Structure 1
Amino acid sequence: MINNPKPSTTLAKSILGCAMILSLSSPALATKDTKEKNPDANEIVVVGQQTRTEVIQELIVNQFKVSAGGRNTGQYARFAAPICPSVGGLSNEDADKIENRIRDIAELGGLLVAADNCSPNLIVVAVENGAHEIESLRKKQHRVFNTMTHRERDKLIEDGGPVFSWKATQQMASDSIHAARTGTIDMKSEGTGPITARGQRSHVKSLIKKPEFAGIVYSYLLIENKALSGVSLNQLADYAAIVSLIDINVKFETTPPPPGSILSLFTEIQTDQPPPQSISEGDLLMVRGLYKAAPNVKAPLQRSAMLHTINEALERPAPEE
């Protein structure tokens, strides 16, 4: 189970510790060698579920957030640079275990993972009062919310927790798969979050492909301590991984998570099913589908490609033992 959080840790300190305040002129992050991981201490067990593609499709349509436009003209945002998780508000031992497991899940989902000495872009913090911490951030480190409207910032607090999740996204040039990594992200010395992102100029001309794609530059996830009672490190890490790698509405007001999904860990939906202990097959397939789909097409084409990947996997017969 999760050890008691650090009593002296505040969100501001955690954010400052997780996201170094610097200018990145060429964020070429080395990928982590998978052979260095401890397979016994952090083994990922994907729980198989009889999840139908239609259920996942409904979740994608109603719960995935669309950037840079509406449902049919925008795009589903995704990380372009290798992910670098950093966990605050917990003991160093627990934080390290969660960070390593998030890295493992990201690799299973098809993402690149940065080396250990990277600059964090996936931030998870355990806090006492999420609404209070967000109010404080808005006053003292407002750049964390630079890519959100004032209404979106207000809704973070109005939703009431215990989970608070948001992304800092940028439009990135799509005529090179390395565009996001060779662009420049300028950061001020007194705040966190992206100020500007200058990628390579795009010259893509197509009726299907867009000249830019929606990239996640930073992912922020706050979880209140009261919700962590009885939650294991693996459960927290799995939830944090899926919620951070996908820009998704964590309140599930329209569509509930599929049966067995780790996304239901902190929902208030009453069910006779026990809480999920690990990521489900559907959870992992949603991540794989998103990151396998072309990033520089409109959301409907992304959805179609995602569902093709998911349906293909769900219909594939299990290997014989």
Structure 2
Amino acid sequence: MRAGRPSGWLPALAVLLAVQPATAPAQQEAPKKDIVVRAPDGRTAQEARRFVRQVATAREGQLSRFAAPVCPLVVGLAPPSNAAIENRIRQVAAEASVKQGKPQCAANLLLVVAQDADAFVTATRRRLPGIFNDLPAAELSRALKSGPVHAWNSVEVQNEDGERISGATDEGVKILVVRRASRMFETTQQVVWRSVLVINAQALAGKTLTQLADYAAMRTLAGARPPERPGGPDTILTLFDDGPPPPAQMTDVDRGFLRGLYRTRPNGRAITETHTIVRSIVKQTQVPQ
């Protein structure tokens, strides 16, 4: 069942973590000598739009996001580090007005730190192929691509009121009841019901728990991808990229993106709802007068 905790997948996924726990990052925060203080840079709408186009992921012409309360779970680090990252993700979610589940809620946002991320994802696909079944080809290819980070969101189509598929015809065609028609908005919405992020333990060298948590929040809550082209605004999404040192935490651009996403209309079209995110980024990065 896709409401609340998905039954069966989490215990089975945990079995695949038959490796030694990864070593937690050495420090809770970046050492002072590594902190770079950056003044707000006042992003223009054009710059913000370019950033959104690079990192946002759309399904069937719509932006996807969590609708049910988010329940993060981190595994693979020392227990205090796992808890610290979960708490930070919750803090970021609260700042963006993302609904959250109560303590001990059913996990639907999972961060796994594995000794060998590629091997873990390969084993997951072999043992639990259903976790990948609803991914479009391009997203599946990105999720399985070798590298230090693997991320994917499971998304289902719901109607404009958040109701799920109610049945199927004798031919197996799924039925989704819609109640309104509009030229401005869709009759459906793309809802994330599970998000998984797998990171290679060796890639955490030199990274802090705050950086890891903020990166995880952007990849899971926002479904954001690291920008493909250099030269854009500072973003925590570059945490595992080669190049200049990443920021010590998520930036105002990241915060603006996440807040804007959760202010969009769930049944809006990506091409129009993007403007909401752009405005949020511009507002978040305005230089105080």
What is the correspondence of 1:210-229 to structure 2 with a 5 Å cutoff?
Answer: 210-229=186-205
For the residue of structure 1 that corresponds to 2:111, the secondary structure is strand
1:151 Cα deviation after fit:
5.4
Match of 1:162 in 2: 148
What is the CA-CA distance between 1:238 and the residue it aligns to?
1.1
The one-letter amino acid paired with 1:13 is A
SS for the counterpart of 2:285 is helix
Contact 1:124–1:240 (CA under 8 A) maintained in structure 2: yes
Question: Which of 243, 246, 251 is 1:280 aligned to?
Answer: 251
Residues in 2 aligned to 1:155 and 1:80: alpha-carbon distance in whole angstroms: 24
2:158 aligned partner: 172
* In 2: Cα distance, 1:12 partner to 1:156 partner: 16
> Which of 84, 90, 95 is residue 103 of structure 1 equivalent to?
90
Aligned residues: 254
**CA distance in 2 between partners of 1:226 and 1:165 (Å):** 17
**Contact 1:295–1:302 (CA<8 Å) still a contact in 2?**
no
Aligned-pair CA distance for 1:249: 2.5
Q: CA RMSD in A?
A: 2.8
Distance in 1 (CA, whole Å) between partners of 2:151 and 2:220 is 8
Give 1:295's aligned amino acid: P
Q: Are the structure 2 counterparts of residues 173 and 276 from structure 1 closer, same or farther at C-alpha, using a change threshold of 3 Å?
A: same
Distance 1:77 1:224 in 2: 26
TM-score, structure 1 normalization: 0.72
- Separation in structure 1 between the aligned mates of residue 68 and residue 277 of structure 2, nearest angstrom: 20
- With over 3 angstroms needed to count, the CA separation of the structure-2 counterparts of 1:127 and 1:47, relative to structure 1, is farther
Q: Do the aligned residues in 2 keep the contact of 1:67 with 1:76 (CA within 8 Å)?
A: yes
| Aligned AA (1:161) | G
Q: 1:88 to 1:170 in 2, by over 3 A?
A: same
Counterpart residue number, 1:191: none
State the Cα distance separating 1:314 from its structure 2 match.
3.3
Q: Please tell me whether the aligned partners of residues 142 and 150 of structure 2 are also in contact (alpha carbons under 8 angstroms).
A: no
Structure 1's 290 and 48: CA in aligned 2 closer, same or farther, altered over 3 A? Answer: farther
Separation (CA, whole Å) in 1 of partners of 2:15 and 2:40: 36
1:61-80 aligned at under 5 Å gives the runs 61-68=53-60, 74-80=61-67
**% identical equivalent positions:** 28
Whole-angstrom CA distance in 2 between matches of 1:245 and 1:48 = 26
Paired AA for residue 155 in structure 2: T
Indicate yes or no: 2:104 matched with 1:112: no
Query: CA contact under 8 A between 1:49 and 1:280: conserved in structure 2?
Result: no
Question: Does 2:37 match 1:83?
Answer: no
**Aligned-partner residue type, residue 234 of structure 2:** G
- SS state of the match for residue 77, structure 1? strand
The 1:57/1:127 distance shift into structure 2, 3 A limit, reads same
Q: 1:57 aligned to 2:49? A: yes
3-state SS of the aligned residue for 1:222?
Answer: strand
Which secondary structure state, in structure 2, belongs to the residue aligned with residue 76 of structure 1? strand
Residue among 86, 109, 132 paired with 2:119: 132
CA contact (8 A) 2:85 2:209 kept: yes
Q: How does 1:233-272 map to 2 (within 5 A)?
A: 233-250=209-226, 252-253=227-228, 255-256=229-230, 258-268=232-242, 270-271=243-244
SS of residue in 1 equivalent to 2:62: coil
CA distance in 2, matches of 1:141, 1:47: 44
Shift of 1:264: 1.3
* SS of match in other structure, 1:309: helix
Residue of structure 2 equivalent to 1:300: 271
Contact 2:108 2:194 (C-alpha < 8 Å) held by counterparts: yes
8 Å contact 1:122–1:218 — kept in the other structure? yes
**Contact 1:173–1:199 under 8 Å retained in 2:** no
1:1-40 matches, cutoff 5 A = 12-13=13-14
Compute the displacement of 1:246 (Å).
1.2
SS of the equivalent of 2:124 reads helix
TM-score, length-scaled by structure 2: 0.79
Q: SS at the partner of 2:150?
A: strand
> Structure 1 residues 299, 263: closer, same or farther in 2, change over 3 A?
same
Deviations 1:155-175 (A, max 9, x none): 4333x221111100011111x
Structure 1 counterpart of 2:159, which letter? A
Which whole-Å deviations, capped at 9, do the CAs of 1:29-61 have from their partners, x for residues lacking one? xxxxxxxxxxxx99xxx9753151333311211
2: CA distance between counterparts of 1:154 and 1:278? 28
In structure 2, C-alpha distance between the alignment counterparts of 1:119 and 1:257, rounded to whole Å = 39
Could you tell me which runs of 5 or more consecutive residues in structure 1 were left unpaired when the two chains were aligned. 1-9, 17-40, 69-73, 186-197
